[in-house]
Structure 1
Amino acid sequence: MGEQAQQAAFEPRPATDAEARALASGVRLRILRICLDEALTNREIAEVLGRHPASVLHHVRTLVDTGYLQALEPRRGRRGAREIPYRTTGKSWYTRTQTQGSSLLQAFLDEVAQVPPERQGMTRLGLRLPPQEMDEFRERLFTLLQEFHDRPRDPSAEPWSLFVALHPDTSLRRPPA
Structure 2
Amino acid sequence: MKTIVFFLEEPSAREMLEGVLPRMLPENIQIRYLVFQGKQDLEKNLKKRLHGWRLPDSVFVVMRDQDSGDCEAIKAKLTDLCHEAGREGVLVRVACRELESFYLGDLAAVEQGLGIRGLARQQQKRKFREPDTLSHPAEELYRLTGNIYDKVVGSRAIAPYLNLEANRSKSFRVLLSGIVNLAGG
Q: TM-score range by the shorter chain?
A: under 0.3
TM-score by length of structure 2 reads: 0.26
TM-score by length of structure 1 reads: 0.27
